[in-house]
Every structure is written in C-alpha cells, then in structure tokens.
C-alpha cells in the first residue's frame, strides 16, 4: 500500500510537470509570468481565459498604456484651451474611458495586422517619415534635426512614432479593400448637397425682456413661496481660509550672480545677433581654366565690360552670373567666400579658384556691417544669463525646502527656517472669489492653489506641488466654512431681484407670443417692430451651418429658420430676451451651375462613407476577436484620479 501511494504521487507530479512544460512551450514564458514586472492588465483582445492559468493567446492592454494615452489627452486639452483640466473635469468628460477605448482599438488593429501577416519594412517607414511635410526643411527635403525636435515637442519618442507609422502603413494595407471612389450614389449626393447648400434669408426682431418695465414687487407670500422653491439658486458656497508658500524663479533672481566677464563673453559669443553683417553686391564670370579667367580680367583692364569680356573668352552670351547682395555666410565656406570678402570695389585683380572652377569677381557695392555696442546690450545679456541660472537655484531652494519640510512636518516651520514668506487668504470659494463675488486669488498658480486648498482637509497641508509653469507650492487649509442655505432675510434683496426677473421674462414671453401670432396673421415685420418700439432687420443669407449674430440670427434661430415655411414666423429664446424669426426667402442651389462644387462634395461624401466602412470593419474585428475589460482593475487604475 505504501509503495502504491508513492507511485501514485510520482505519477501526479509527473503529469503536473508535463502540463507545466507544455504550457510554457505553448503559451511562452512571458504569458505564464504575465504579472511579474509588468503593468496591471486592464483589458484583453482575443484569446481564451482559463482558470488559474489566465489568458491563452490574444493581446494584452496594460494599465501603463492607458495611463499614457490619458496623459496625452490631458496635454492635448491643455494645448487647445491653454489650461490643464482638473481631475473632476477630465473624469467628467470621460477622458479615462476614451483613453481605454483608443488603446483597445489600437490593440485590435495590431492583432488583426499580425493575424493577416501584414508588415511594413524599415525602408517603407523611413520613406513615409521623409515624405511628411512636418519634417521637411526649407529646401523641401527631410531634416533629421527638425524630425527630432517636432517629436520632442509632442512628447513622443522616436521608437514610439516609428511604431505608430509601421502600424499606419500596415493598417493601410488592411483597409485598402475600401476604395473611397463612387461609394455615394449620385441621387444621395445631390439630395445632401441641396440640403447643405440651401440658403435662407430671415427677417428678425430682438425683443429684450427689459421691454417690460412695470414689474411689481412681490408680496411677502410670493417672496417666501419663490424662495422655498428656488433655495438652490441662493446657496452660500463653502469657503476656505488657507495659507501657502510659493516658490518661483522670482524668489531666487536676487541670488543669481553674473560676473562682468561672463556678460562680455556672452556678447562675443553672440556677436552676430547684435548687428548686421557686411553685404556685398557681387557678379561673377566662371571658366574651367585659370588662363581663360586671366584673359577675361585682361580684357576688362583693356576697357571692355565684364559681360563682353566673358562672352569673347567663353563664347557664352550669358557668361556673367549676378549673385546680388550676399553676406559671407550666404556663400560656400572656403577660399571663394574669404576671397570675395577680402576684395575692394571693382574687378578682382586675380581669379579665385573653388571646386566649381575659376571665378572672375566684380564687386559692385559694399555695405559695411554694423554692430550694437556692448554697453547697449549689457543689461539685456545680464538679465538673460540670470534667467538661465535661476531655475537651477530654484531647484536647490525647492530641494532644501522639501528636506526641511520632511523633517519638521510643518510648512510654517520650514518657511521660517529658510526665510520664506507665508501668504494667507481668509475666505475663498472654490472659484477663488470672496463672499461678494470678487476674484481675489490671482497671479501665479491661482487655479492650482485654490484646487489644492479645496482638496486638503482642515488643519492639514498638501504635498509639495508643481504647476506646469514650474512654480512650486505647499498649501495649509486653515479653516473650512461649510456651504449652507441662507435664511430669506440674509438674501432678501437677491430673491426680490430674481423673482422680478422671472416675472419680467414671463410678461415679455407673453408679448413675444402675441407678436408671433400677429406676424403669422399677416402683419409685416417693420410694422410689428414699430408697435413694439423696436427695430426689424434683414439677416444675410445663411446655410444650416452658418449664422449672423450681428442681426440676431444665432445657431438656435438658424435651426428654427430651416423648419419654417415661407413667410412664417417663430420665436427663439436668446440672452435676456427672444428673437422673432420670419422666413423671407429661400435660395436653392442650381446643381447645373454648381457642377465643380458638386463633384468636390461627392468626393468628400465618398471619403466619409469610406471612413464609416473602415470604422465598421474595426468594429467587426473587435467583435470577431472579443474584448474583455477588467472593470475592477480599470477602476483601481484611476482611483487616485477620482
């Protein structure tokens, strides 16, 4: 019995070992130790999921990839709107979900490209990059330095960009089956073109709510009822008192020492910036031998012009090349440039040689170079040198502050130790305003300061934070005054104003409704406007996608205009009033006269349909392979963002 037990245990161990060996061979060691040393997986494309062993095959979507894409979206937002969105804004806009979807779609494409065996060679990638106008210099050829700089500005590494290009080329092969030509039937093209190109002319009257001037004051009962129904409008927001220490380059400017010698050296190194270089108006005749060049010079000395002499010796009627005004750096460096800028006016006494041949030079005019005296730019250079050194001193100050802060665990103590100023705001809302609605948190890092103060609990300090502009700060939240609903007595004046504004709007709306009825019954707009004590206008012709706000035709009014029958009127609410809109004229496009525009439109429509087909293909690939998202891991990934 004991021998049998040992034998059975041996068989089990042998089977388990065999299964592991097969698993390593089939899945690869990387898949078996997926969790080791890699970012958490938030999604998986394709493959099969087995208990214990995890995913077999397919492609993984890591949390690091999603976070990287999320950060790209934050940077894109900041470039477009000149500010970085708050965490709440970013999450509210769903940037984290968008980042996940972008990476999943990219992974689906990569998986499909591998499955279909599509490849892009290094030569294809290099050629595609060289053709990109963004990386071409002034001469229209690929500029490696410009290429590196552009990618650095976009915060994309060269390997990452080249991988993206490789994916794009392979994807183009995959999507090559969709040819964007003739996809839109002519009847569909014509119908949509008519809708998009049709223009309409409107008559408008702007009726402000202020047209109603005899709004009574509310009774106590009306005021109380209105307040109870609209308490949210009069909510007093949370206010916080906070103190902070801010470190910027301005704080260390006085510590920067720049010697007079350093300023002088900077001036000499950048001398070309402080003036204009010498210019020379140059003509030249070129020959293939020194003897011919000397013969031209001899003929000129005998009284002939350079043009006639060059024609006589070379037999070429166009033997003189006019270089025009040039600086020394405009010429190829070497003997030719040195020689030209060492000659006096007139014909050179001897020819100059270059790799191109022999040159007979005529200097027509010399414009001496001008330089700005050192004394005139000394202060500017000193300021620039200080600005270059200040960031290093700021980093040292920040490092010292962080060290003392870590030791003392007190912003106040660390500031006193290093002689830093502590600034305070006594009562601030989350928008940086005081109780009267005045913006009081202004200046460097204003938004970041308020955000940090409202993210830090009472009597606590934030971490040492850095802004995108290179400012450093710590915030201490001194006191929190919670948001509350005021009593009617506290805000009675505001409630009265709000009640009267609502009543004024209701009465104005009644006037507008009556005016619309009169217009649709036949009253013309000039007469109607006169009755209201207002003016009527005729807007310019607009399509569905245009507007004429100068004549009260905003986008909402345009949408209403394209719903109206000819000579009919409708009203649209606008800022503090309403706009009466009457359809005066319809200008339908003449397809026979718009032939070229119609053809261009057809091509655009073909492209739109092709893009839609490609999107459907990607969706089909996603459905074919299957995508599994680990919602728990995804939530954890952005938990710190919430």
In tens, the pLDDT along 37-67 reads 346 899 999 988 888 778 888 999 998 889 8
Taking phi first (over 0 means left), then psi (-120 to 50 degrees means alpha), and beta for anything else, what does residue 117 get?
left
Question: Please, what CATH class does the domain formed by 239-256+386-481 belong to?
Answer: alpha beta
Q: What per-residue confidence (pLDDT) applies to 395?
A: 87
CB proximity list for 459: less than 8 A, separation 6 or greater: 477, 478
Residue 422: left if φ>0, alpha if ψ -120 to 50, beta else—which one?
beta
Alpha-carbon gap, residue 515 to 572, rounded angstroms: 13
Q: How far separated are the first and last CA of the chain, in Å rounded? A: 62
Q: What is the pLDDT of residues 594-614, one digit of tens each?
A: 888 888 888 888 888 888 888
Residues recorded for the chain = 642
Residues 6+ apart with CB under 8 A from 277: 327, 328, 329, 369
Q: Distance between CA atoms of 176 and 120, rounded to whole angstroms?
A: 14
Neighbour tally for 632: CB within 10 Å: 9
CA atoms within 13 A on the CB side of 162: 13
Does residue 595 sit in helix, strand or coil? Answer: helix
In order of 212, 242, 425, 446, the CA distances from 453 in angstroms are 45, 7, 10, 11
Phi-psi sector, 419: left (phi>0), alpha (psi -120 to 50), beta: left
Token duo for residue 595: 């032939």
pTM: 0.51
Q: Please check whether the domain covering 275-371 is classified as CATH 3.40.50.970.
A: no
DSSP assignment letter at 141: S
Question: Could you give the CA distance from residue 303 to residue 590 in angstroms, rounded to a whole number?
Answer: 72
Identical fold, 199-211+491-587 and 275-371: yes
Question: On the CB side of 349, how many CA atoms lie within 13 Å of its CA?
Answer: 3
Residue that is written with structure tokens 């060290």 in the block: 403
CATH number of the domain located at residue range(s) 199-211+491-587 in this protein: 3.10.50
Going from N- to C-terminal start, the domains of the chain cover 1-33, 62-179+622-641, 199-211+491-587, 239-256+386-481, 275-371
Whether 642 contacts 87, CB under 8 Å: yes
Q: Residue 469's pLDDT is what?
A: 81
Q: Which pLDDT value is given to residue 155?
A: 67
Give me the average pLDDT of each 10-residue run along the chain (642 residues).
39 37 35 43 89 85 89 83 80 90 90 86 87 80 78 77 86 79 83 91 95 91 94 92 91 78 78 79 89 91 90 81 84 85 91 86 89 81 78 86 91 92 94 91 89 94 88 94 92 93 94 95 94 94 93 94 95 92 94 87 86 87 91 80 48
């Amino acid at each position: 019995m004991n021998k049998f037990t040992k034998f059975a245990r041996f068989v089990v161990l042998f089977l388990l070992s065999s299964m592991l060996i097969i698993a390593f061979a089939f899945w690869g060691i990387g898949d078996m130790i997926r969790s080791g040393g890699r970012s958490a997986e938030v999604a998986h494309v394709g493959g099969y999921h087995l208990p214990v062993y995890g995913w077999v095959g397919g492609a993984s979507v890591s949390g690091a990839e999603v976070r990287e894409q999320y950060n790209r979206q934050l940077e894109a937002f900041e470039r477009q709107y000149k500010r970085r969105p708050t965490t709440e804004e970013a999450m509210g806009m769903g940037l984290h979900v968008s980042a996940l979807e972008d990476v999943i779609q990219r992974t689906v494409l990569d998986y499909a490209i591998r499955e279909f065996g599509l490849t892009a060679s290094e030569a294809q990638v290099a050629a595609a990059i060289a053709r990109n106008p963004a990386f071409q210099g002034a001469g229209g050829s690929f500029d490696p330095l410009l290429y590196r700089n552009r990618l650095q500005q976009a915060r994309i590494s060269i390997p990452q960009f080249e991988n993206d290009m490789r994916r794009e080329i392979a994807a183009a092969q995959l999507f090559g089956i969709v040819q964007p030509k003739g996809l839109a039937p002519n009847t569909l093209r014509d119908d949509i073109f008519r809708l998009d190109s049709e223009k309409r002319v409107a008559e408008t009257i702007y009726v402000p709510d202020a047209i109603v001037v005899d709004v009574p004051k509310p009774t106590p009962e009306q005021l109380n009822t209105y307040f109870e129904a609209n308490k949210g409008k009069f909510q007093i927001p949370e206010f916080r008192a906070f103190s902070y220490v801010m470190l910027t380059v301005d704080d260390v400017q006085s510590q920067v020492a720049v010697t007079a010698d350093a300023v002088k050296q900077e001036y000499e190194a950048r001398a070309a910036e402080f003036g204009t270089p010498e210019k020379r108006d140059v003509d030249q005749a070129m020959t293939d031998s020194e003897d011919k060049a000397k013969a031209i010079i001899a003929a000129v000395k005998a009284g002939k012009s350079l043009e006639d002499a060059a024609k006589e010796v070379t037999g070429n009627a166009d033997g003189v090349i006019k270089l025009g005004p040039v600086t020394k750096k405009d010429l190829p460096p070497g003997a030719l440039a040195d020689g030209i800028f060492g000659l006096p006016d007139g014909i050179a006494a001897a020819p100059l040689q270059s790799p191109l041949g022999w040159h007979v030079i005529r200097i027509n005019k010399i414009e001496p170079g001008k330089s700005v005296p050192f004394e005139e730019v000394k202060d500017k250079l000193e300021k620039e040198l200080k600005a270059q050194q200040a960031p290093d001193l700021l980093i040292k100050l920040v490092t010292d502050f962080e060290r003392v802060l870590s030791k003392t665990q007190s912003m106040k103590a660390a500031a006193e130790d290093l002689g830093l100023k502590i600034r305070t705001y006594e009562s601030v809302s989350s928008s940086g305003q005081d109780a009267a609605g005045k913006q009081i948190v202004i200046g460097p890092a204003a938004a970041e300061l308020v955000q940090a103060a409202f993210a830090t609990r009472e009597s606590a300090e934030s971490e040492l934070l850095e802004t995108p502009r290179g400012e450093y700060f710590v915030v201490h939240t001194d006191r929190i005054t919670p948001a509350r609903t005021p009593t009617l007595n506290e805000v009675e004046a505001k409630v009265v104003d709000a009640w009267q504004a609502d009543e004024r709007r209701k009465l104005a709306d009644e006037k507008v409704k009556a005016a619309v009825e009169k217009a649709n019954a036949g009253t013309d707009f000039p007469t109607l406007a006169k009755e209201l004590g207002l003016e009527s206008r005729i807007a310019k012709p607009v399509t569905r996608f245009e507007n004429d706000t100068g004549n009260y035709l905003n986008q909402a009014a345009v949408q209403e205009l394209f719903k109206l029958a000819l000579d009919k009127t409708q009203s649209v609410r606008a800022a503090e009033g309403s706009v009466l809109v009457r359809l005066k004229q319809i200008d339908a496009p003449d397809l026979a006269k718009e032939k070229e525009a119609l053809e261009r439109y057809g091509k655009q429509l073909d492209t739109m349909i092709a893009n839609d087909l490609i999107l459907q293909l990607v969706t089909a690939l996603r459905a074919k392979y299957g995508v599994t998202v680990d919602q728990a891991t995804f939530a954890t990934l952005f938990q710190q963002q919430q």
